[in-house]
Amino acid sequence: KVWIDGTRGLDTDVPSITKSFVNHVHTSLARQAYNLDDFGAYQAAALSVRDDLIINWNDTQLHFTRKSPKRAYYLSLEFLMGRTFDNALLNLGLKEKYNDGMTKLGFNLEDLLEKERDAGLGNGGLGRFSGLLPGLKRKPGIANGSQLEAPDPWLEHDNPWELPRADVSYEVRFYGHSERLDGMKAIWSGGQEVLAMAYDTMVPGYDTKNTNNLRLWETGDYERALESSNSAAAITSVLYPNDHTSFGKELRLKQQYFWTAASLADIIRRFKNIDKPITEFPEYVAIQLNDTHPTLAVPELMRILLDDEDLPWDTAWNIVTNTFFFTNHTVLPEALENMLFLQAVEKKFPGDREKLARMSLIEEGFPQNVRMANLAVIGSRKVNGVAELHSELLKATIVKDFVDFYGQSKFFNVTNGITPRRWLDQCNPGLSNLISETLQIPKGVFLKDLYKLEGLLKYVDNPTFQKKWAAIKQSNKERLAHYVETTLGFKINTHAMFDVQIKRLHEYKRQTMNIFGVVHRYLTLKAMTPAERKKVNPKVVFFAGKAAPGYYIAKLTIRLIVNVARVINVDPDTKDLLSLFFLPDYSVSLAEILIPASDISQHISTAGTEASGTSNMKFCLNGGLLVGTVDGANIEIAEEVGESNVFFFGHLTPAVEDLRYQHMYHPVPIEEKCPALAQALNEISSGTFGDGGVYEPLLNTIRQNDYYLLTEDFDSYIKALALVDEAYQDRTEWIKKSISTSAKMGKFSSDRAIQDYAQECWNIESSKLT
């Protein structure tokens, strides 16, 4: 296939790659090819691929400008993109050719790929989800067992994937006042005007010329402070590193307004180019709000339609409520951004009717709060949760009154998905090749239609296939072991079971239960005779993840994990049977090494708290089994792969409220309720793992009201882990479970999720370049 419009695309051959590489070394980098280091070579190769991307990206823009179809815009304050280079090569089908080209020039492509820094403009799954499809710019390390905070070096070097658009900028106004001209039209003036400048990143689709645009906004050099001396630069210099706590900071509100206002100005400008009446806006524009963070787009579009377009209120509101769609990503109340408004205007509210008060955009009190979630719900055409259980809980709790008001049809579910390009082909090329060879179809077929993996079920009992499947897992475990050896200096037994929990550190995700489980296992091993120990299957436990800088208990959990590791990894009685690692600097790229190497992964949130989870899907796609609670997308994974292939434990969502009530009003001492857990906590208190006394605040959260119910779930958790050990003893059965799990992951492709949004919300179809 040869692409038109002069694109090199699939037509690119090895000599043209090396030529373009050398050219970039000389002209773009102003260096010599003969003494180039790997970082320079990465830059030159990246610039060479970028040339291809730019052509496709320009053609894509042109195609959509000419056809002016309806466009879907994804507004997100986080984009956790990971690396771009490998993704671009695979999506363009150029990886092998670049591999050959770089070898000819004396470089190793894999080494060059490692030189790229992750674009980590996000915290967790919510940010990763937008990475599939405007934003801000941070890196924690570990020292003395604690997380270190430092700025993210992502921006230190020129980023070849980002193009500054000097030609695209908008004025965004802050503060000021409004006045009525000749008693009629209101004008907003004064305050501070900040210039929003566009930076574009090319996002290539897989096996298509379509190359999407990710537009980020940066503050301009010039600012006109008319009434305030607030620095504009601060607006885009920090990514709020929290993921489930909101502080009501003025800067956060300014960020949100800065980027939604710039994005809307941009969207309006593009709409105006097609010369249609403004009332047809929703026929050409759909805007998806990624959580409540871009909610200010709702009042901003109202402002534009009323002030700039002179529309009557009802007409404007009708346009707004047919344009926006809102995805909620959590039911935890502390994350529902309630924005603090500083003006002390006391507004009388018909507060005698409780239901109205609950639905109000304003939470009454001193000071008042704006309820962003309520604003997003009323301003949107449709509202969705991110897994079946979460969407049901949403309707039963935080949007209940709105369901009564609007009816059921406004509320629906889109279960999250993950991209098989990155989370199978890129991170696990060995497995991807084996699947292609076994199903006798090119990779492109199942990477675009993940349901095709079901074909693997035919081979579950085939010993040759099982061997190949197991060999790939083994080599991925060796790759991870190599990483640990080079970064932490520890040798790992790769024949041990690899048990992984990687996610943001949070009490509701219960990394605490995992580490208490490790302590329990350690104590059990210590109490065994050498003969008994011989029967135990060795296990290596991995943790990784970041804690919000101000989240004391989460940081204490990291410290506990690191210090338990220091003791048990050197204990001669147990070190061959149990070891533990907290890998620093968690990133998308590190996840790409950990996930394919896992035998079992843990998704153990208190039932009803994890909206979906997405790493659960990634592990299962790569043939790792899952131990987890009946929560989020775990439930749907079990539905797909069969309950016999997952290790479920713990109380169910409906029980949680009652249990919490009992903990509040009829507390039972932990020694009675859960002796095994009490023993692990006491061992930590006694100083076995150092740092005498520092863990007490963490341990007391469990001993006292135990909001996340560890004392209720710990015994069944330990039983589930014992079942995991037992299952792992029969390696053939384990491999069968692994194959069957991966084979049934079709539903969790991001393609299915995006398709659901396209149908349910945006009412758009794909428009492919030829």
Q: Which residues bind ligand 26V (CB under 6 A)?
A: 123-126, 129, 240, 242-244, 246, 291, 329-330, 335, 337, 386, 416, 610-614, 632
Is 504 labeled as catalytic in the residue annotation? yes
What value, to the nearest 5°, has the Cα angle with vertex 19 and ends 14 and 20?
Answer: 100
Confirm if 373 and 336 have CB atoms less than 8 A apart.
Answer: yes
**Distance of closest approach, residue 586 Cβ to ligand 26V, in angstroms:** 15
Strands (E), 342-414: 362-363, 369-371, 382-385, 411-413
What are the residues facing 340 on neighbouring strands? 369
Is 618 labeled as catalytic in the residue annotation? yes
Choice between 236 and 614, CB closer to ligand 26V: 614
**Distance of closest approach, residue 633 Cβ to ligand 26V, in angstroms:** 7
**Distance of closest approach, residue 394 Cβ to ligand 26V, in angstroms:** 12
Is 84 labeled as catalytic in the residue annotation? no
Is 137 labeled as catalytic in the residue annotation? no
Catalytic residue among 97, 252, 382, 509: 509
Choice between 332 and 441, CB closer to ligand 26V: 332
Catalytic residue among 614, 653, 711, 741: 614
Whether the bond into 294 is cis, omega within 30 of 0: no
Choice between 9 and 632, CB closer to ligand 26V: 632
**Distance of closest approach, residue 235 Cβ to ligand 26V, in angstroms:** 15
Confirm if 599 and 625 have CB atoms less than 8 A apart.
Answer: yes
Confirm if 14 and 48 have CB atoms less than 8 A apart.
Answer: no
Q: Map 21-56 to HEC letters.
A: HHHHHHHCCCCCHHHCCHHHHHHHHHHHHHHHHHHH
Q: Which two tokens stand for residue 351?
A: 């507060």
**Distance of closest approach, residue 246 Cβ to ligand 26V, in angstroms:** 4
Choice between 76 and 512, CB closer to ligand 26V: 76
Choice between 24 and 546, CB closer to ligand 26V: 546
Measured CA to CA, the distance from residue 181 to residue 188 in angstroms comes to 10
Choice between 391 and 579, CB closer to ligand 26V: 391
Q: In this structure, what is the dihedral angle of CA atoms 750, 440, 595, 643, given to the nearest 10 degrees? A: 80
Neighbour count for residue 28 (Cβ, 10 Å): 15
Instruction: Please give the span between the terminal C-alpha atoms of the chain, in angstroms, as a whole number.
Output: 10
CA–CA distance from 16 to each of 8, 21, 34, 567, 714 (Å)?
9, 8, 19, 55, 60
**Distance of closest approach, residue 386 Cβ to ligand 26V, in angstroms:** 4
**Distance of closest approach, residue 587 Cβ to ligand 26V, in angstroms:** 17
**Could you identify the residue written with the tokens 């993940």?**
450
CB-nearest residue to ligand 26V: 125
Neighbour count for residue 248 (Cβ, 10 Å): 15
**Distance of closest approach, residue 221 Cβ to ligand 26V, in angstroms:** 27
Catalytic residue among 83, 293, 329, 539: 329
Spatial CB neighbours of 261, under 8 Å, sequence gap ≥ 6: 170, 172, 173, 196, 296, 300
Where does 205-336 have alpha helices with state H? Answer: 250-273, 281-284, 297-303, 313-323
* Residue type for position 98: Y
Choice between 18 and 255, CB closer to ligand 26V: 255
Measured CA to CA, the distance from residue 46 to residue 39 in angstroms comes to 10
**Distance of closest approach, residue 290 Cβ to ligand 26V, in angstroms:** 9
Measured CA to CA, the distance from residue 343 to residue 359 in angstroms comes to 21
Choice between 92 and 393, CB closer to ligand 26V: 393
Choice between 432 and 501, CB closer to ligand 26V: 501
Catalytic residue among 473, 618, 663, 744: 618
Measured CA to CA, the distance from residue 483 to residue 590 in angstroms comes to 9
Residues classed as catalytic? 329, 503-504, 509, 614, 618
